[in-house]
């Protein structure tokens, strides 16, 4: 049995939040809107108290909210179309889903009534030495500011990402994805889940509302939940560091902003009843809204190799050096919005 998950909580005038040791995951978060309504946009997987969860990879056992992924994705055997290869950098532990930090317990650092800090030390043979994150509610707003620091043990190039996962209202199309300016949309070069793919693989489009389905139809991928049972990914490259989700049936908007120079793409994870095995059970509905420097979630050996995204000028990995701390900042906020 894995170590027991511990949690810390903070409350401020505009909300309250919880952070767990496993994966350093933030969630749930309850925000108080200026009109007095309470909203909780981050997803919490429904199997978190199921005794059978102990059979799952650690990252899934109490899946929730937001956390950093270093590296992003994982190396595994994949069939790849022309133009893609797994000839980049790899290492012991590159097959761990979304990196060591997503699958172990973090330790608490300096915490007080205004902030929570956490650290995760990586194995001695890993190119990364340490992750540190600082979670600070904005005392004047329904918002949270987060800082991630990465310290390397040796020179390396890695795909990295952030993994905010949002709950969705039940009605299909009731939540609208509102990305900032971006260059193009890419579909994954393969299947995320066998038998549950929706989008035509290894394609590019100019707009998220003009995605091509495998049946040949053009569909609007900005409106979720989708009607279809699917598990799929789309990557928005060259995005300006901002995205919002408009919860039309609930009258609020969640916003995420980040440093675009660190994360030039946004990965959208459509988890829409596509996975039928435990723990998903054909009932899991959520949206991953994930700033990345990565080629989808294809792992270090593909993201650091020559690939179509990198060839287009989009970084799919970040270079790290010992003695130089990589620091990035991002913000999650909510606001009232119109219904419908």
Q: Provide the residue ranges of all domains of the chain, joining segments of one domain with +.
A: 7-336
pLDDT reading at 197 higher than 80 = yes
Cα gap 172→19, rounded to integer Å: 30
Taking residue 31's Cβ as centre, other Cβ atoms within 10 Å add up to 25
> Domain 7-336, what fold?
Beta-galactosidase; Chain A, domain 5 (2.70.98)
Band (pLDDT 50/70/90 cuts) for residue 249 is very high
Instruction: Kindly give, in sequence order, each residue whose CB lies less than 8 Å from that of residue 109, ignoring residues fewer than 6 positions away.
Output: 117, 118, 119, 132
Cα gap 187→203, rounded to integer Å: 5
Task: Kindly report, residue by residue over 198-244, the tens digit of the pLDDT.
Answer: 999 999 999 999 999 999 999 999 999 999 999 999 999 999 999 99
Structural Rg of the chain based on CA atoms? 19
Q: What's the pLDDT at 2?
A: 65
The dihedral built from the CA positions of residue 31, 339, 44 and 261, taken in this order, carries a sign that is negative
Q: What's the pLDDT at 1?
A: 42
- Tell me which of 109 and 270 has the higher pLDDT: 270
CA atoms within 13 A on the CB side of 232: 25
- What's the whole-number mean pLDDT along residues 174-189? 99
**317 and 304 in contact (C-beta within 8 Å)?**
yes
Cα gap 326→318, rounded to integer Å: 10
- What's the whole-number mean pLDDT along residues 138-145? 99
């Amino acid at each position: 049995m894995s170590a027991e998950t511990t949690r810390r909580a903070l409350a401020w005038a505009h909300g309250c939040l919880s952070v767990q040791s496993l994966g350093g995951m933030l969630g749930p978060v309850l925000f108080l809107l200026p009109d007095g309504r309470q909203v909780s946009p981050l997803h919490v997987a429904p199997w978190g108290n199921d005794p059978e969860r102990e059979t799952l990879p650690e990252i899934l056992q109490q899946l929730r909210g937001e956390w950093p992924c270093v590296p992003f994705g994982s190396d595994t055997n994949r069939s790849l179309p022309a133009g893609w290869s797994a000839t980049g950098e790899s290492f012991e532990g590159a097959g761990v889903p979304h990196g060591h930090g997503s699958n172990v317990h973090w330790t608490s650092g300096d915490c007080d009534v205004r902030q929570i800090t956490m650290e995760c030390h990586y194995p001695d043979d890993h190119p990364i030495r340490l992750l540190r994150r600082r979670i600070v509610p904005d005392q004047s707003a329904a918002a949270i500011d987060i800082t991630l620091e990465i310290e390397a043990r040796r020179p390396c190039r890695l795909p990295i990402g952030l993994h905010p996962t949002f709950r969705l209202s039940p009605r299909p199309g009731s939540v609208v994805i509102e990305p900032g300016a971006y260059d193009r949309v890419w579909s994954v070069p393969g299947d995320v889940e066998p038998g549950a793919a929706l989008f035509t693989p290894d394609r590019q489009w100019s707009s998220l509302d003009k995605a091509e389905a495998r049946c040949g139809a053009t569909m609007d991928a900005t409106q979720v939940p989708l009607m279809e049972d699917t598990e799929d990914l789309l990557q928005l490259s060259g995005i300006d560091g901002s995205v919002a989700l408009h919860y039309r049936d609930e009258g609020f908007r969640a916003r995420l902003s980040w440093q675009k120079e660190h994360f030039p793409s946004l990965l959208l994870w459509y988890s829409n009843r596509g996975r039928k095995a435990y723990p998903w059970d054909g009932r899991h509905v959520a949206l991953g809204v994930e700033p990345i420097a990565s080629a989808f979630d294809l792992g270090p050996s593909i993201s650091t190799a020559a690939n179509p995204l990198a060839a287009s000028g989009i970084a799919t990995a970040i270079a790290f050096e010992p003695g130089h701390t990589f620091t990035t900042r991002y913000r999650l906020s909510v606001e009232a919005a119109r219904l419908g």
